[in-house]
Chain A
Amino acid sequence: QKEVEQNSGPLSVPEGAIASLNCTYSDRGSQSFFWYRQYSGKSPELIMFIYSNGDKEDGRFTAQLNKASQYVSLLIRDSQPSDSATYLCAVNENTGRRALTFGSGTRLQVQP
């Protein structure tokens, strides 16, 4: 059973702090990794994707990938109350199958 694991939270951080969200995956052959944000009652929306080991930065967001440890993380700098949402990690094994396997999500609360 291929799995994507996330801590369900809630992860509570003060406004302006760095929020660190973590995800582990079981399939060593996984090739592409995605972070989606989902506000309550809304649909998931893409935040970032990462394919290569290392860091990828986009504004206040940084995705980190370590394939050897089968670990992907999302850092949110200068967290804002509007960042409060559930963050879903998704993995594609890239075996020709286009489907994504989603983690259960981490709920982030940014306290003003």
Chain B
Amino acid sequence: DAGVIQSPRHEVTEMGQEVTLRCKPISGHDYLFWYRQTMMRGLELLIYFNNNVPIDDSGMPEDRFSAKMPNASFSTLKIQPSEPRDSAVYFCASSSSGSSTDTQYFGPGTRLTVL
């Protein structure tokens, strides 16, 4: 069974450019989470969705960040305009409300570098 899929795996862009990160959750999972990980701040939750609906976006750092989930198998995290301080590894994770646990399964991550 395929795990969480993220693309691209690496992204290098220049300040001011738009960046779009993509995620495909595990089939059948109804929760999707976007995290950001840096050395300074660790793993931070940005936003999460349930059945394609955003539930909590309190971790989104500012209006430059937006996330969508148009269907159960696809989500995007967009940064516009990007800034050097956005450089981090962005993880997508998914979980199932039908599971007996709250276990979240992580994708491989996208390493973003903003020059």
Contact = CB atoms under 8 A, between A and B. Distances in A.
A104 B37 CA distance: 10
A32 interface: yes
Contacts of A94: 102
Nearest to B104: A100
Interface residues of B, number: 21
Contacts of B109: 43
- Describe B's contact surface by its main secondary structure: strand
A45 B56 contact: no
B105 A46 contact: yes
Size class of the contact patch on chain A: 20 to 34
Interface of B: 31, 33, 42-43, 45, 48, 50, 55-56, 91, 95, 97, 101-109
Given A43-B108, A99-B33, A105-B43, 6 more contacts: A32-B101, A42-B108, A43-B107, A43-B109, A45-B106, A102-B42
Interface of A: 32, 34, 42-46, 49, 88, 92, 94, 97-105
